[in-house]
Structure 1
Amino acid sequence: TQLFSAQASELVLAIDEGIPLTRLPDVLKNLEQQFPQLQVECLTASSPDIIELVKSERATTGIILSDLQMPRHIDFTNLGNIAFDVYVSSDHPLAAQRITHIDQLKQYRQLVIRSKSAEPGSLNQALSPDIWYADNYYILLELANKGFGWCFLPEHLVADSPNTLKKVGDDFTKLAWQVN
């Protein structure tokens, strides 16, 4: 699978901010060596917004979390997996509980990611009746860190950020929260 046409003079790469960027510099270095005249622009957005950026041709390539239905005219390939877990502030009431069922989480505010056009992804379904939304994982991380609620976050994002977050619900969350 190619990121772009070899004849292209520009690559606009839109990346979901929930995806680790550890390999991006190496990929860009290879592109720079193979295509020294290539102009590169990197954007970040939520996965549903990236699909819209590619559909509208604002972005030539998108790297997304594939919990979404892909439109027929967009090519898709799997680049790997990302683990998600449920996190709360260490000061949140849920942090002191042993969470064995999702119904325990529903009693508290959930922090959910969705697109700028208010489109939720299937990975980040609203499960609680009390919900706050944000359009990126960094805001969710900060809100959870300050005790505003619980949320699903990529493990690497939590590991790479200074925070007081506690992972909860290991008994049930590991079964369904791996994304491609």
Structure 2
Amino acid sequence: MRSPAVPSVDQLRVLLTVAEAGSFTAAAKRLGRATSAISYAIDTLEAQLGISLFDRGTTRKPKLTQQGKAVVSEARAVALSIETLRARVRGFLQELEPEVSLAVDSMLPNDRLTTLLREFHAQFPTVPVRLLVQTLGDVERVVRNGDADIGVGSLMHMDMTGFRRIDLEGIRLVPVAAPSHPLANASETDPPQARDFVQLVLSEQPAGEGRDFGVVSLNTWRISDQAVRHKLLLAGLGWCGMPEPTVRADIETGKLVRLKLPEWRGGEYPMMAIHKIDTPPGPAGRWLIERLVTLTDEAEPSARQIAKPQASKARGPSLHPSAKRAKRRRVRSPRLARA
């Protein structure tokens, strides 16, 4: 038995068009060819494969045989692979990166990150992303050693030597605990001290190594995974400062309580994007950074209102959302400043 010949890309295109259009005449119109040319292309393909793809005898319109249906299914997969290949090559011709690798601080709210990547995929569907979620200073490490092209983290945990930075809007931190925690049920006349209770500290290093920020408790649990810290917090095993967007739903549903602590009232976790000076990102990476700058301005309106309750009153008439975005882009266009 002879092996079937390999179909050409054009033959597969004709086959799929006939299958989708339902007739040779309709396929000919779609492809701008004569009906006889379509019929000849299918006859040739059937001869090369050694099987009948269409039943032409029992119906007026050609109907796919069982074997024909199987071939069409495989042809669709091949056609998709070819289109993907062509799109990747077009990207290379446009000098798009073959991959964008991104290291992000685990403090970055998930909603902001997913929105960013969803829009990136819509803009650059052929550029794969490699995402590394890191703890604090590990963002700098993976960018410096070349495991990531772009880093998103805090200046507090980075040595900026050899990097360019793009300042981003910070993340508002709020002190929280489970409703069952003593700090959540504190008396206003005789409030307990936060330093007397376990503070869940996000850290990639043991106590005594590196710098601590916002640590007031004498008893700390050091956790390298933000998701685990969140679960321990919900379980009532301590208190800590968390990104407001991350715990917003928990506070609204009563799973967590925002604390009023004289020792720790919260604050802002400053954020920036970085890349090596000698290896700047390509078009896709630059788009990602530019979108990240504008996205942070839009991501947490309620957090900004909490932080600056009088700011909106001093701004004058409100603007349409598109006008606000345009204004922000003019004011906060990303500058690749040397640290």
Normalising by structure 1, we get a TM-score of 0.78
The one of 37, 57, 71 equivalent to 2:160 is 71
Query: Residue type matched to 1:59 in 2?
Result: A
* 1:87-146 per-position Cα deviation (integer Å, ceiling 9, x unaligned): 11100111111579xx8110111100012x4465543x4321211111132211111111
Indicate if the aligned counterparts of 1:137 and 1:153 stay in contact, CA closer than 8 A. Answer: no
- How far does residue 63 in structure 1 lie from its aligned partner after superposition? 1.0
Tell me the secondary structure at the aligned position of residue 218 of structure 2: coil
Indicate if the aligned counterparts of 2:194 and 2:261 stay in contact, CA closer than 8 A. Answer: no
Query: Residue type matched to 2:260 in 1?
Result: G
- Point out the structure with the larger helix share: 2
The one of 158, 165, 168 equivalent to 2:256 is 165
Report the equivalent of 1:61. 150
Unaligned runs of 5+ in 1: 1-5
The one of 116, 129, 134 equivalent to 1:40 is 129
Which structure has the larger Rg? Answer: 2
1:177 pairs with 2:275: no
- How far does residue 84 in structure 1 lie from its aligned partner after superposition? 0.2
Query: Residue type matched to 1:46 in 2?
Result: T
- Percent identity, aligned pairs only, is 21
- Point out the structure with the larger strand share: 1
The one of 121, 125, 137 equivalent to 1:29 is 121
Aligned length: 168
The one of 134, 145, 149 equivalent to 2:234 is 145
Partners of 2:231 and 2:269 in 1: how far apart? 22
Unaligned runs of 5+ in 2: 1-94, 271-339
Where relative contact order (Cα < 8 A, 6+ residues apart) is larger, the structure is 1
Report the equivalent of 1:3. none
Partners of 1:120 and 1:99 in 2: how far apart? 35
Partners of 2:242 and 2:187 in 1: how far apart? 19
Indicate if the aligned counterparts of 1:98 and 1:169 stay in contact, CA closer than 8 A. Answer: no
- TM-aligned CA distance change 1:170 to 1:130, over 3 Å: closer
Indicate if the aligned counterparts of 2:140 and 2:151 stay in contact, CA closer than 8 A. Answer: yes
Report the equivalent of 2:175. 86
- RMSD, matched Cα: 2.8
- TM-aligned CA distance change 1:99 to 1:43, over 3 Å: farther
